[in-house]
Chains A and B, each alone.
Chain A
Amino acid sequence: MSYIVKPRFHHPGLKKNDLGYTRRDYEGTLTTLCGGCGHDSISAAIIHAVHDMSLAPHKIAKVSGIGCSSKIPSYFLDRSHGFNSVHGRMPSIATGANLANRELYYIGVSGDGDTASIGLGQFCHIVRRRINMLYIVANNGTYGLTKGQLSATADVGSKTKSGEESQYDNIDLVSLAIDLGASFVGRSFSGDKDQLVPLIQAGLSHRGFAFIDVVSPCVTFNNTPFSAHGYKNTWENNVVLSEIDFVPMRKEITTRYSAGKEKEITLHDGSVIHLHKTSSSYDPYDRENALHHVNEYKKRGKIATGLLYINQSQSDLHELADTADKPFNRLNEHDLCPGGDVLQDINETFM
């Protein structure tokens, strides 16, 4: 339905951010997803998050693969460039784009088919390569566009609308990301905007590879009482490991929390997150501890959510590769071409 033009008018009293933009300035085209699709809530959360951070929309680039999830970059940030690439290959597009211009924010949106099946290899390797980006998986445990096949993230025993039951162990993208060295890993639920928005904000402010697995129910094909990724199961079994509040850079910190389970984390761009742990044994700075908690809850049929792991000391690909500060796409022949005299010297080494 993208041929239906979205009306542009808005309430004159809509709140403006530091750049003078309202949320409408961060929207995209009209969604073509099913009514009630979790993915639309993710779009809304992204719009909310970047607006409130006062990020300039044109300084963000959106990349995606193929599938219902990968359509959603159309539905937010119209003023950002977007690239809807091929199935499972968004990580390579993101890698190249990031190499070409290190100054933009990159938001990758993928799905469970796109990331956990056809693109599993690319996902593993973008984690290893430490691209500075926010990678969101809209995870519904099913293939929506091809009408409801089980995906590789569907839990054993989970049933789709057609009654097909998942028989294979599922791939847990959060554990995988932590294990492979992602430096920011969170999980949330599309229905929990209060949790998802600050996670997106923190992920964007984090320098390095930030991954958020968002359980996002497919209302059409995988939302039965027996669907692990359905609304019912997610509401009932969501265990919040950590709650975070995000305070953007430049904003005054007004809230004060009780000591003990609180952590104040200053991110690379100066923003601050207040992390409230719900379990005293859990340590989001410790990889093994975080993995242990995620796995323990999984064994009990629970879904651990929140900011699950963070490592602020890791360098990103540009730092590792020691690339120039000036973005590659702004370098010209003066910066890049060694010239005729040098070539003459090179010729002589082959004479």
Chain B
Amino acid sequence: MSKRKTGRSTRTLSGVNNFVVKFANVNGSGSASANNLFAKAIFRMGVPVSPHNIFPSNIQGLPTWYEVRVNDKGYLGRRDGVDLMIAVNEQTISRDIESVLPDGYVLYDSSKALRPIRNDVNYLPIPLKDICLREFEHPGQRQLFQNIVYVGALAAFLSIDFEILTSMVSQQFRGKEKLILPNVHAMELGYQYAKDNFECPLPIRLKASRKAKGKILMDGNTAIGLGCVYGGATVASWYPLTPSTSVVDAYGKYCKRLRIDPGTGKKKFSIVQAEDELAAIGIAIGAGWNGARAFTASSGPGVSLMQEFLGLAYFAEVPVVLFNIQRVGPSTGMPTRTQQGDLLSCAFASHGDTRHILLIPSTPKECFEFAASSFDIADRLQTPVIVMSDLELGMNDHVSDPLEWDDARKYDRGKVLTAEDLEEIEDYGRYLDVDGDGIPWRTYPGVHPEKGSYFTRGSSHDTMAAYTEDGNIYAENMDRLASKFAGSVQYLPQPEIVSEGSKRGMIYFGTTASAIPEVHDKLAKQGIALDTMRIRSFPFHEEVSRFIDEHELVYVIEQNRDAQMKSLLKIECNATDEKMHSILSYNGVVTSADCIESAILEDLSEMSKQASA
């Protein structure tokens, strides 16, 4: 049998360990686990990979995409353009084929005839449905295994190590051995069909590498859940909300493994699925007040509901941790798409003069570290700490350095008086600034029979925690809170600065980080040198103002419409619009190097036009 050429285009895209594969599926059809298998197999070959789920707010029947970028240089931001499309969703097939790069590839199910709409791409027809109808009896398997058949075919097209795939299937179905054979069989069918009918591998292909060796492939929410276990959280209260749900799922999963007392079988953790987000944060605050480490996880709509309680915790000085896995707002927005849109509403959450600590992770490793240390920071400063992740980081797998824990590390429970301490104290005052750092000493309920009790309230209070309507006392207390906040930076992660003494710089944070090395290198090749600073917390360290001061111009790159980080920088760092130019993206997918690069180039040419005019 003579092998078909791959298609109509006279040329083909090529590239070893450098391409984008996109899967267009119907959600609820079992494609997610097959697609994960594909990405993880590439990762296990040691090749850096970055998968993205682009999924609907729906259980079954709507279009969903899975995009995998493979890049040996380790550029793992999104890249525009698709080299190989797995177009197996009839609802979107025309649009999907349109999005393939010229001379790229389209794998489709040829059980049904396809009316070719482009002549400049290469087609890889495989009768997925027919193969499965022929080979499998069970209706469920006939559907599910179509996904596994294309993974097998991709192994042939892209030179994925077949051994890795089969060992992963064996691992996945350990304990359910009956499922291993048919899955491997389905993969072999696809692999063989591709080998028999096409020239394999394609010019785009994989080669084993060492670039991803020693790394882990993990999603941010799992890392946060683990960080909460390691950080000593014992109370989790939450209300289900995409994309934050998997934070509590992960916390629960690891607690069941690691937090059951071996002697008694009892749990050293509790998870309360609350009636709403108001109760979720209220429960965490009640637990924090009473000396347990507590958190809640949510996203925009839930965080909006928590505003009143956040103000109480700020004003009454109760430690609590909130993980905000941001999604597209306002209102319900696009619940399953990503955005950095809650920066301002979290920095100043609640009525009156309030400010909150923000931690902004960029990688799973940082999700773990920031989650664990958020409890130390909340206890030390006796205030809410909000960890600002997003859907992109939280729900997608990312190549990351392995998680680390120093066994010598102790929890910082902050300024808490014991019964023995209280014996030595004449007049305990809950809000007395004894040490001059704005941080008062607290006591846990039940500590001492006669000393240390106080009344916590959201109404104005004096240093002894008594109610007051004296304006001066109120103002003094507000000033102390401001000084506590200003001094908090010493406990917060510093900005990450890479400086080559350039005149211009880029300021970025969170998931924009994945695109930045590529932007930097692409612009450097064009003679445009840019220093970089990644902000990792709010309030800002001194270095943040200094970075702005030391550069003629900085680009503030963020994923929202209103330039929220730039606004914060204007408020806090005395910087002007002239000096800070915004690069914004807010279409629901994480920003890409191409997008940032072209925006910067456009801005530079605009400026030079203005200068010459």
Interface on A for B, CB 8 Å cutoff?
2-3, 29, 56-59, 61, 63, 73-74, 78-86, 89, 91-101, 103-104, 121-122, 124-125, 129, 321-325, 328-333, 335-340, 342-344, 346-347, 350-351
Contacts and interface: CB of A to CB of B under 8 A. Distances in A.
A122 B276 CA distance: 9
Nearest to B268: A324
Contacts of B449: 56-58, 79
A124 B275 CA distance: 9
Given A61-B290, A329-B292, A350-B218, A89 B405 contact: no
Interface residues of B, number: 74
A66 to B, nearest CB: 8
Given A99-B270, A101-B291, A324-B264, A94 B446 contact: no
**Residue among B269, B270, B275 with max Cβ neighbours from chain A (10 Å):** B270
A96 B283 CA distance: 4
A132 B274 CA distance: 17
Nearest to B259: A336
Interface string B279-292: 11111111111111
Given A89-B279, A92-B282, A103 B270 contact: no
B217 interface: yes
A100 B292 contact: yes
Contacts of B274: 92, 125
Nearest to A335: B268
Nearest to A330: B291
B466 interface: yes
A187 B232 CA distance: 41
Given A82-B453, A99-B292, 15 more contacts: A57-B449, A61-B290, A63-B286, A84-B459, A85-B312, A91-B279, A96-B283, A97-B286, A99-B270, A104-B446, A122-B278, A322-B265, A324-B266, A325-B266, A328-B235
B404 interface: yes
Contacts of A335: 268
Contacts of A89: 278-279, 282, 309
Contact of B234 (A78, A336, A351): A336
Nearest to B278: A89
Nearest to B213: A351
B450 A79 contact: yes
B241 interface: no
B285 A93 contact: yes
Contacts of B3: none
Given A89-B279, A92-B279, A97-B445, A337 B406 contact: no
A329 B308 contact: no
A34 to B, nearest CB: 17
B268 A336 contact: yes
B586 interface: no
Interface stretch (B117-125, B138-146, B407-415, B526-534): B407-415
Contacts of B459: 84
Contact of A323 (B267, B290, B294, B405): B267
**Residue among B404, B447, B455 with max Cβ neighbours from chain A (10 Å):** B455
B444 interface: yes
A92 B286 contact: yes
Interface in B239-270: 254, 258-259, 261, 264-270
Nearest to B455: A82
Contacts of A329: 290-292, 444
Interface string B442-486: 011111111001111111000000111000000000000000000
A347 B458 contact: no
B463 to A, nearest CB: 14
A335 B410 CA distance: 12
Contacts of A100: 234-235, 286-292, 294
A323 B446 contact: no
